[in-house]
Structure 1
């Protein structure tokens, strides 16, 4: 018997190690090329931009929803207008050798990175001009719209929460990275176009802008809440740009992490609550803290927001970046109240000596659960039932916006509840609910025959509607928490209140009674004058511009 010995052909093992090494080297080269490109796109050292050549200063605003009509958009356009239109001293160097040299930035270049509302920049500019005129008044920001350099971004849609049904906050944070990538690539394309203009005659005739106009801005400011984009831009440029953020509301708050599950809840609900808090603490908070460590300037819109940003970005909440916050970050947190309208030239107040005016109460707030419209209704109805003779002319008007079907149904249920509590008389004018009133209608209400303004949201970070009511001379009744108590209605002395504040439902009913018929008219008129003066002094567009430019000056003088 013969045995055939079969020899297997030797097949060498795949070159795994060389492939891995080659991939690592390729990635490293790509990373180095990317960093080199990013460095070439930076204008120059920030110190030189601010101090040595003021005409080269430039600012970039990241605000994709710049066509919205909210308070955030008013902050953006007031900031752009302050930089574009006002010729003033923006940065001052520290005194040296007894002298006080300073640098003045005159008409700096301002970039605005926005969503693609239209197909071309010219169409976007025309759309913004019309949209802002409708929201904030004719020609309020026309010059700013014409002077700003618009850069529409395809990746701006990734910032919308509708794309992320799960882990929404995390994915919204991470969406800042592709936005930053597109910003770099857009400026790279501008630079390539400029270089081609030197070689090709057709480009030379069409593009004659100086090279510096195509580079990245020396200062980036986020006004909508995309902190990871600032972090990426800061890292990719090796810290050669400066970053700032205007924070309306913290992206993540301690209230989210400290929320305890209900003791009566099921085991699965408690488990979800524990997992949610762990997700916030282990994933979202460290990433948000890292973004704060890369932000050179923080502007908070209220004392409530300021306190929480100090905890998150410069306190125990930012444990991963605490070392970075012990230096200039703690000093560069500024309180910059949002703009609530131009200073008013007239001071005609509602005539509170007339019961028909004094007992008319208006509330302006979106029909969201946290606005607590039910509390307004219940306390007002309780007041009518307890004091029927004194409140014979009392009236409550609730005006608010409805974002969706749920908000509209909430407003409808509110009106049905009013009818159930007070009878058919509520439909005759004692209690009214107006949904999605226009800005013109709201202005007419504030300037009309209403004497009191009611605000019932708890722990609101600011409260622009309160300031608008104060500017029109209305007597304000608000919850004693958040920005309403810490900023807007904070009296200079205990004996000079600016309005009436409450904590409980019983206190709210008593405040309504004080405002509608108890307190002397002279006392209420003194509150009117003090509140009006504070609104004009602290919360006007002009006051915002002054504070904003002072805060930005710290970026220009920082060594």
Structure 2
């Protein structure tokens, strides 16, 4: 047998090492030159594509990245209140909103913001309509959804940057992967308002413990190998998410829960602050707090967008169990599901929820109110006995605050923002209730309905007093203080 020598192989690898290092260095240098060239190019065309000169000089441009600005949810209320606050302080600036709502006009979007949130802006806003919003739709990525949507947001951000290069860029919807694009190519000062981290340590624990959730399929849970592979994927994604998030000059989070997760993922403790989202507390506090009467119909109202994480099926199943518990009683409560639909997927989700109601035999007791005006929302809350909220680890819960301000007794999930920031004792008194599963929810709803009118009134009054700290004015003051470094 011929002797095998590794020495020639080592000599070959050694001879290739230096050329490989040189080639890598040249490629890195070319990439750096390309990035520098792109940045210079963007600077030259800054503000020239859609913004005209004002009195001989270019305006200071503040842009918000919010692809679903017409959705009508809590995130959109943050957008409009933030714009209103900035317009009051920085009157000479130009304001831009990058949106993918190509099926609406600027006038339609602003009018809906008024109808839904009772917000009018004092200055014009330029809308940059993005044609590639489908790149961030979850339906486009049945597998590796987080990665797909994040990479899609980079392409969507590129389209936005090509249309307008602002001075200040604020991501108000959670697309952290766009931040390096605007900072290093656009040369922008970067701010972000984080409603919900794209990935969280809780999501890692769900996969690690193989728990069933809307984003952890049964096929993954049942297979140890797939669970491990998904966990590795999540850890890698979390590391990249931390890198892109650290590009921010200013980070605002909406709750204690979000703060804890962002600080564990991003290296940004020196520039991060809690800015509670604005809730139209006063509009709901204006609703008369009527005395409860036994003859009044006991409606249960849910206020949240029709998204999978809101877990509307849990509400319907819990309601079905409640009806079983109180069968035979003269007064039967109704469940009213109020929320916004952003797209065809949300519409299909509502259709699926209606089918679930039929399967459980509760379709006559459940009503769906989709994209309703603000005044109608207030009316439903004014007539409700219970405000229902079922999202696990809700980042904050504007709908929870609205229910409490309107005088309903809130029943929320025992996690996230509702647990840590909202449904907490006020001066030592109860402000609402928490639950975790459908049995808990059914039991607690039955308990609330059996409380005496005096006790209910006491809880409602405590809740109303406690949520005043989430008013629009409180948000505007905290927001302006937080973003001040972006304007220095």
**Aligned match for 2:66, one of 63, 66, 70:** 63
Q: Report the CA distance between 1:230 and its aligned residue.
A: 1.2
- Aligned twin of 2:193: 246
- Aligned twin of 1:446: 381
- Aligned twin of 1:226: 175
**Aligned match for 1:255, one of 184, 202, 209:** 202
**Aligned match for 1:462, one of 393, 396, 402:** 396
Q: Report the CA distance between 1:219 and its aligned residue.
A: 1.9
Tell me how far apart the structure 1 counterparts of residues 39 and 397 of structure 2 sit (CA, whole Å).
43
Tell me how far apart the structure 2 counterparts of residues 382 and 268 of structure 1 sit (CA, whole Å).
33
Establish whether residue 370 from structure 1 lines up as the match of residue 292 from structure 2: no
**Aligned match for 2:333, one of 365, 383, 395:** 395
For residues 71-470 of structure 1, what are the structure 2 equivalents within 5 Å? 71-84=74-87, 86-87=88-89, 105-115=90-100, 117=102, 124-137=105-118, 140-141=119-120, 143-144=122-123, 147-187=124-164, 216-236=165-185, 241-258=188-205, 259=207, 260-261=209-210, 269-282=223-236, 284-313=237-266, 325=267, 329-341=268-280, 343-344=282-283, 346-352=286-292, 354-357=293-296, 359-365=298-304, 366=306, 368=308, 370-371=311-312, 372-385=314-327, 391-401=329-339, 403-419=346-362, 427=364, 431-434=365-368, 436=370, 438-439=372-373, 441-448=376-383, 450-470=384-404
CA contact (8 A) 1:399 1:437 kept: no
Tell me how far apart the structure 2 counterparts of residues 339 and 491 of structure 1 sit (CA, whole Å).
21
Q: Report the CA distance between 1:473 and its aligned residue.
A: 1.2
Deviation track 1:382-404 (CA, whole Å, cap 9, x = no partner) reads 4315xx5xx53241323245723
Tell me how far apart the structure 1 counterparts of residues 321 and 25 of structure 2 sit (CA, whole Å).
72
CA contact (8 A) 2:183 2:190 kept: yes
CA contact (8 A) 1:361 1:452 kept: yes
- TM (norm. structure 2) is 0.78
Deviation track 1:327-351 (CA, whole Å, cap 9, x = no partner) reads xx20322222222326236351132
The range that moved more, 373-382 or 462-471, is 373-382
Secondary structure of 1:498's partner?
coil
Tell me how far apart the structure 2 counterparts of residues 64 and 230 of structure 1 sit (CA, whole Å).
15
Q: Report the CA distance between 1:116 and its aligned residue.
A: 6.3
Deviation track 1:415-463 (CA, whole Å, cap 9, x = no partner) reads 44245xxxxxx84xxx333353733543322123x32223333322222
Tell me how far apart the structure 1 counterparts of residues 275 and 376 of structure 2 sit (CA, whole Å).
29
Q: Which has the larger radius of gyration?
A: 1
Secondary structure of 1:244's partner?
strand
CA contact (8 A) 2:179 2:245 kept: no
Q: Report the CA distance between 1:266 and its aligned residue.
A: 9.0
Tell me how far apart the structure 1 counterparts of residues 321 and 38 of structure 2 sit (CA, whole Å).
62
1:294–1:364 CA distance, 2 compared to 1 (3 A): closer
Q: Which runs of 5+ in 2 are unaligned?
A: 1-18, 48-57, 213-217
Tell me how far apart the structure 2 counterparts of residues 417 and 136 of structure 1 sit (CA, whole Å).
34
**Superposition CA RMSD, Å:** 3.6
Tell me how far apart the structure 2 counterparts of residues 57 and 266 of structure 1 sit (CA, whole Å).
49
- Aligned twin of 1:511: 444
Q: Report the CA distance between 1:251 and its aligned residue.
A: 0.6
Deviation track 1:244-287 (CA, whole Å, cap 9, x = no partner) reads 111111111223322133799799832222211111212x2222
Tell me how far apart the structure 1 counterparts of residues 30 and 485 of structure 2 sit (CA, whole Å).
40
Tell me how far apart the structure 1 counterparts of residues 240 and 68 of structure 2 sit (CA, whole Å).
23
Establish whether residue 37 from structure 1 lines up as the match of residue 41 from structure 2: yes
Tell me how far apart the structure 1 counterparts of residues 159 and 390 of structure 2 sit (CA, whole Å).
42
Tell me how far apart the structure 1 counterparts of residues 392 and 163 of structure 2 sit (CA, whole Å).
43
Q: Report the CA distance between 1:289 and its aligned residue.
A: 0.9
Q: Report the CA distance between 1:136 and its aligned residue.
A: 3.4
Q: Which runs of 5+ in 1 are unaligned?
A: 1-15, 44-54, 88-104, 188-215, 314-324, 420-425
Tell me how far apart the structure 2 counterparts of residues 266 and 302 of structure 1 sit (CA, whole Å).
31
- TM (norm. structure 1) is 0.69
Secondary structure of 2:158's partner?
helix
